[in-house]
Chain A
Amino acid sequence: MWKTIIRRVLVMIPQLFVLSLLIFIMAKFMPGDPFTGMITPDTDPARIEELRQEAGFYDPWYQQYFNWIMNAANGDFGKSYTYKVAVADLIGDRALNTLWLSLLSVFLLYLIAIPLGVLAGRYQNSFLDKIVVLYSFISYAIPVFVLALIFLFFFGYKLQWFPTSGTVDIKYDSGTIGYLWSKIYHILLPAITFALLGTTGVIQYLRTEVIDAKSMDYVRTARSKGIPINKVYTKHIFRNSLLPIAAFLGFTITGLLGGSIFIETIFGYPGMGQLFIQSISGRDYSVITALVMLFGFTTLLGSLLSDIIMSIVDPRIRID
């Protein structure tokens, strides 16, 4: 297994190289540059030119690419033109925020979706099943920004149950219980919003899998042993039905870093999604390229992680 993992990681190097080249070229093709926004009627065009020279804008593209990739390999993605801080630091802060929010979101998502999916599948065509299917279709049809705005308005603004923006209350010192609680309190509403709308896939997959599994031969064998029906569900049907969900788990985990642009923007939560959209509109090349590189890397990692998870839960799949 370790051999496979190392081999897979080595294969990732050429994949990352191609990815970085594509990202670099596409970033270069984007119109405008960070200095475009600085131009005012009083700006001396010569000064702008000078800045561009300094930033290396007129070097040949391969030279620029080489500089960038070598620095990136050392963890230096340059400085953000907008925030004037090192990109690595900027992303580091945001990534942590996003990670907390995403972890809670995904936890709530599975907490809602797994029981509903299993119950809907078990009691197929019952009233409960119809309600669950209805819920999953409605939640799939509602755009995230609509529900996010509604929740923000009612629970944040009208009822004032939840804070409407930020990651933590400033009155707490870092490291205290109050600080931790305040952090969780701030991510609760965005996480619930995300979880409620993200359940469709998991519910539908599980429901279908449970319905399929019910008529499987091994379930009939289990029933012929005289095992109580609840045990048949927990020991035989449930685990087999979770396989497709497990197949996505790697991507889900690494995908957590990507954050949600809508949720973060609407709830004023400074995470990766928000950073990404801001860096694009601000032509903040160094941040964009670093983020896309990171997302690409986590996707590759996610597929590896999925394979490892699958090989753990399904004995028929062995990676060696």
Chain B
Amino acid sequence: MALWVEKHRPATLDKLTFHSGLTDHLRQLANSGDLPHLLVYGPTGAGKRTRIAAVLREVFGPGADKLKVSQRVFETPTRRKLEINLISSNFHIEVNPSDAGIYDRVIIQDLIKEIAQTQQVATTSARKFKVVVVHEADALSRDAQHALRRTMEKYMGNMRVILCSSSTGKIISPVQSRCLLVRVAAPTIDEVVDVMNIVAKKEGITVPPAFARQLAASSNRNLHRALLMLEAAYVRQYPFDESHEPPLPEWEEYIRKTAHAAIQAQTPAQLMAIRKQLYEVLTHCIPASTILKTIAMHLIDSVGEALKPVVAHQAAFYEHRLQSGQKAIVHLEAFMAKFMSVYKRHLMDAA
């Protein structure tokens, strides 16, 4: 069973629908015979990975689509064995170093060195370099990024790196300056609706325009999610029930309720209830940053104008703490407590 979002993923640059300017650039780049290091960044569901795959196909031909999964064992300096899943074709290799936690430097160094030191042997290949795709590059530790910076220069001869990241903020500037920055912005509502219509047509269904717009809006212009929502709505009822509000993922619903709880009451006991809910969300593998952001956005929507910047400031502050700390719950709770304290004072002032 394949989800629509996988089934109808465009495989070549020609089939990409939006960001046509960017697509042209990428095509020219791929056909120029050489490829610089790339840093592809943009929000989730904007099509970063789709574009990377399309570029690889453009550069290396259909062979880049023949993927195999392998497991590699790396040994850390402390002699711990790490098993990492790799996806590779004859021309490129994909890795998600955040799997390795704090040992990502080892992975980056070993892997890149190994690839860089072996020449491209496939005679059919038009290019003499291989590509390493690093997913979630913003999760790379500083160490790993510095290691990357060195290897990027040293093995420029037969290796290219494509970094995929949600923003450039967490990529150190030496690495940024060695890459061509490719921004993949979130598609507009209209573009999302267009893609939905294309998918619907392939599936042989019709989507009412208003409903499509509603889905696109509630997906937050996340194409990936919009298509999933479309499919979920389709399996639920077809023809589409336009009055049915497309449901959010459980975790998001849950976090919204948590945020709402902070607005309802501001007591230590309420905070304890909130803590329990925060633990619950964390338990389900939702990253702490996502939780904080979701809560903050919901709070900003709910409070008066005077408090909005305060909430944003506190959210940013505790996001920073979150990054430098270890126990997410402490920071999430501190943020909630701070908000409740500020909000309570605000209410009392207003009264």
Are these two chains actual partners, yes or no? no
